[in-house]
Structure 1
Amino acid sequence: MAEFEIETCRGVDEGSSSTSAPVSTTTNSTLEVRVDPRTEPKPPKRRIERVPLTMRRDERTKGYFDPRVVSIGPYHHGKKELQMAERIKPIVAELFISRSGRSMDEFRKNVLEIVDDARSCYIEGSTDVYSDKEFAEMMLLDGLFVSAFIEYTTPGYGDDTFQYQLTEHLGQHDLYLVTGDIMHLLENQFPLQVLELLMSLKSKHYKLTGMLDKMLHRWESQESTRQDKRIDDTKQPIHFLEYFWLWQNSQSIQTRRTSTRHTSDYFYSFKSVAELKAKGIYARRGSDFNHRDFKFKSFFFFAVLEIPPIIFSHRSFIYLSNHIAYEWTPHNPNNLPTMAFVNFMKSLINTTDDVKELRARTILFSSYTSDEEVVQLFNKIPTFGLEDFSIYDEVKHRIHEHYNNKVKTWFAELIHNYFCSPWTFIAFVVAAALIIMSFLQTYFTISPHN
């Protein structure tokens, strides 16, 4: 995994512009526009964004974007239902710095020195209610809490003290929810540059990007092609969710290609897993846990669609919804791989029969007791029909060709409709044998000498 360079939020939009350049003016009766032809447009600000209102107002994802145990950063700071975690943050902070050889005041002083940079990582106006001292204190306690979490969850670092303290004060259930609050929520992210500072103060051997890499690799150790991924070096992560998104989708970014095809060309006639099975296209578990790794193999009268193993839990839907929210926000990704994955899976999962088929093939693993619940929850994830159509276009196009090939699908439909169970097949064989025996008996009766 290539080391990431943590981007300084303030540096994204700073710069000087010339005031002596000639300016062209366009004027009409109501509007005057001044354009400096020699001034290059400034790159857009990239910040820790808030969830777009179109998604937040959607009742289907209510509660998917708000922390349930701990607030990180200013967007949800001070909520009454999160005060229990606020009381434990100073305890966690003291534990984290206890073996650093430094004092809390030294950490506080260093954070205060970059308070303006930290403010610039959030939406303009969202931190105005806090003085520099108040905001720096928030950054200090929240940053140390997240740092302790990363240290605890990274192999080879930390100990069980963090888990013990959270379990003692919050309980085992809330400890489970803390992971989702820190890792998956767009509005609960923390500037990586501040985390990098805190980690370096704890130990000169602590490298934030290396620790994050180990932590993510531990959580997704089954993903066999992980070491082959690279990210787009032109867009450095500014918070953990973005780091995770780039880590997860770097392959999609690299393989993305431009196309002159019309949008309607990306819509295909095939639908669910059960419908594909009726056409002789069978789902099979892929060997890679990478959600982008769908493969299709076509044979004479049947085909195989390899689908990566998928785990569905309540946390999975929160994770997917927040990654879509991240893709939906301004100045972030220029492609939409999470939306593309969700839309593809929505087309494959329409009914409980589809869920049953995927479970039978050991492709889908669910913590829900009802298959209907999986169908409903997955279809609740809002994508608004948007995606980067080129991501899965090749595999979809190959499915479409096989699906609409009459010669290949006729025999498959015959088997599916008339020989879908072993008893039906046995009955067919017996009936065919009886017909053949009757024919032979008649033949030898008519022509006994032959």
Structure 2
Amino acid sequence: MSVALNIEGPSHSPSHSTSCSTDHAWLQSLMTESRAGNNSNQVNELEVPRVPSEFRKMKENTDCYEPLVVSIGPYHHGKKELKEMEKLKAEMAGQFVKDSRVTAEEMYSKVKELVNDARKCYAEESTRQFNDEKLTQMMFLDGHFILHVVSNKLEKQKLRKEEVASVRRDLFLLENQLPFRVLIPLMRLYKRKGDHIAVEDTSPSKQSSSPESKDQNWRKMLKHFFKDIHEIPPQRELCWKKISLFFSDLPRALKLSSKSPRFKDSALGLDSYDHLLEFFYFMFVYGQVGQDQPERRRYGEITSWNRYYSVNELKNVGISFMPSNTRVFTDVKFKNTLLGGALCIPPLSIEDSTKSLLLNLAAYETCAGWYYGRCTSYVCLMRSLIDKPEDVKELRSKGILRTTIGSDDQIAQIFKEITTNLAPNPTAYTKVKGSVESHYRSSVKRWILENKGPFSRAVVKYSFIYGIAVSAIQAYLAETKEKPGLGNCSCSNATL
């Protein structure tokens, strides 16, 4: 301790002085590293970050972050297995430019203006090998390729259905994103007479030629493209239910229409989002593109802890399952009934790309620092419900899961693999978990439900005995009524 207090004292020996200066240097470096560490723990500020290392620790999930047929941006550019699509990119970009009334030079120069900003969106080591010219060419081809795909022109190419599905899957990888700051200028520059995404410059209305109005056309196209990616199985609804839903939703619709435009779906421009995956995230995880963004990390919240139960465990205590009619796949609700309850879960299609999509959405919200972790918590909630193949079977029978791949056992395994190394927010689904826990621990409800078998058997048994007894009594009474009458008749006949 005295050494630390007299670090600069003149009375120390040279060797002691050297030791003290070394200690001082070490302490200074420690403080410097501490300040650097604080910065490194902050939310990732890159618009297109790398997938966090903890997500790649599970070998079964590694391929979910890698493109299968096409690379977008610098992270996976140049891989041998993706070179075939590079040729198609050039062909599609050429065709896209031909269809536009804007010259190729004008489009290219616009991308070139943004190349320095685009470079900052990616990890520095990934763009170091590309000079400005190479990076501009990459952004130019990748941008037109994305516009080609989302405008449903990919089907015109001579590609197999499997290749088209792989392309769509690759566009929703976290490391395979193109910044909207590059994509949006290409959208706004594109003009084609008679095309539904084009906006005529000759229109007398200034509003119709504004960037906002052009964004609206592309937003509609993106939403249509997203709905094809996240398709919901059709559900049958009774006529009376449709009528009741209409009248119940009418006040809400009138209320929303009177709100400020910033709360509407068309409020925020495309440039409010970083890339395609983020746009998709807000649409299908938070329900409405244009609403307020989720809060970033907060600490110190108090929450009650509830254990998780599988589908069959909940089914045995009177909780049923039903699909909810919403595209927000994280919107899970609990409804109370007289003796039981119902978990309302949005339908989810399990396809080849579903595992990859959910993992990349979870990786995105981790990098973005969204505190609630809605997608991660949803996946973990589904994993808690799906413990065995029988749980998958039950959810399939209720229309909550629609599987086009594998057996029930394989689907259960997929959810186990997805949730490895994922940590849900303990405050997520608090009301749902609390309602389930309350119902599960209800001694009266559980006693009635657990004994409903003996009750029903007892009711049948004693009803049968009661029926026999009543029949016997009725027969006896009928017989006793007849005997006096017969006696009187015989006496009167004898007298006569």
CA offsets per residue over residues 53-111 of structure 1, 9 Å max, x none? Answer: 22123112131111111111111111111111011111100111112233323322222
1:66 and 2:66 equivalent?
Answer: yes
| SS of alignment partner, residue 26 of structure 2 | coil
Q: 2:462 aligns with which of 432, 437, 441?
A: 432
CA contact (8 A) 1:297 1:305 kept: yes
2:240 match: none
1:240 match: 276
Percent sequence identity over aligned pairs: 31
1:164 and 2:171 equivalent?
Answer: no
1:179 and 2:168 equivalent?
Answer: yes
Aligned pairs (5 A) from 1:170-209: 170-182=159-171, 184-203=172-191, 205=199, 207-208=214-215
Structure 1 residues 229 and 245: CA distance shift in structure 2, 3 A: farther
Distance 1:292 1:256 in 2: 17
State the Cα distance separating 1:441 from its structure 2 match: 8.4
1:296 match: 334
Distance 1:132 1:260 in 2: 46
1:352 match: 389
With a CA cutoff of 8 Å and minimum separation of 6, indicate the structure with the bigger relative contact order. 1
2:354 match: 316
2:45 match: 45
CA contact (8 A) 1:256 1:390 kept: no
2:423 match: 386
CA offsets per residue over residues 408-450 of structure 1, 9 Å max, x none? Answer: 12112223x558xxxxx6x766533443356668999999989
Distance 1:209 1:390 in 2: 36
After TM superposition, the score normalised by the length of structure 1 is 0.77
- Going by fraction, where is helix more abundant, 1 or 2? 2
Runs of at least 5 residues in structure 2 that lack an aligned partner in the other structure:
1-22, 33-38, 192-197, 200-210, 233-248, 257-262, 482-496
Structure 1 residues 385 and 141: CA distance shift in structure 2, 3 A: closer
State the Cα distance separating 1:270 from its structure 2 match: 4.6
Which of 1 and 2 has greater Rg? Answer: 2
Structure 1 residues 335 and 61: CA distance shift in structure 2, 3 A: same
CA contact (8 A) 1:73 1:139 kept: yes
Q: 2:27 aligns with which of 9, 25, 31?
A: 31
Structure 1 residues 77 and 429: CA distance shift in structure 2, 3 A: same
Structure 1 residues 434 and 351: CA distance shift in structure 2, 3 A: same
Structure 1 residues 333 and 437: CA distance shift in structure 2, 3 A: closer
Distance 1:254 1:125 in 2: 30
Distance 2:281 2:266 in 1: 10
CA offsets per residue over residues 178-228 of structure 1, 9 Å max, x none? Answer: 11111x211110011111111222227373464134422564398899997
1:367 and 2:404 equivalent?
Answer: yes
Structure 1 residues 44 and 185: CA distance shift in structure 2, 3 A: closer
Q: Count how many residue pairs are aligned between Structure 1 and Structure 2.
A: 396
1:306 match: 344
| SS of alignment partner, residue 305 of structure 1 | strand
Distance 1:361 1:351 in 2: 16
After TM superposition, the score normalised by the length of structure 2 is 0.70
> Aligned letter for 1:317?
K
Structure 1 residues 229 and 291: CA distance shift in structure 2, 3 A: farther
> Aligned letter for 1:312?
I
Distance 1:236 1:31 in 2: 44
CA contact (8 A) 1:150 1:212 kept: no
2:413 match: 376
Runs of at least 5 residues in structure 1 that lack an aligned partner in the other structure:
1-26, 35-40, 153-159, 420-424
1:216 and 2:223 equivalent?
Answer: yes
State the Cα distance separating 1:342 from its structure 2 match: 0.5
1:281 match: 319
| SS of alignment partner, residue 63 of structure 1 | helix
State the Cα distance separating 1:385 from its structure 2 match: 4.7
Distance 1:302 1:357 in 2: 17
CA contact (8 A) 2:285 2:328 kept: no
CA contact (8 A) 2:347 2:400 kept: yes
1:333 match: 370
Greater mean deviation of Cα atoms: 211-220 or 301-310: 211-220
| SS of alignment partner, residue 65 of structure 2 | coil
State the Cα distance separating 1:231 from its structure 2 match: 11
CA contact (8 A) 2:150 2:225 kept: no
Distance 1:174 1:309 in 2: 26
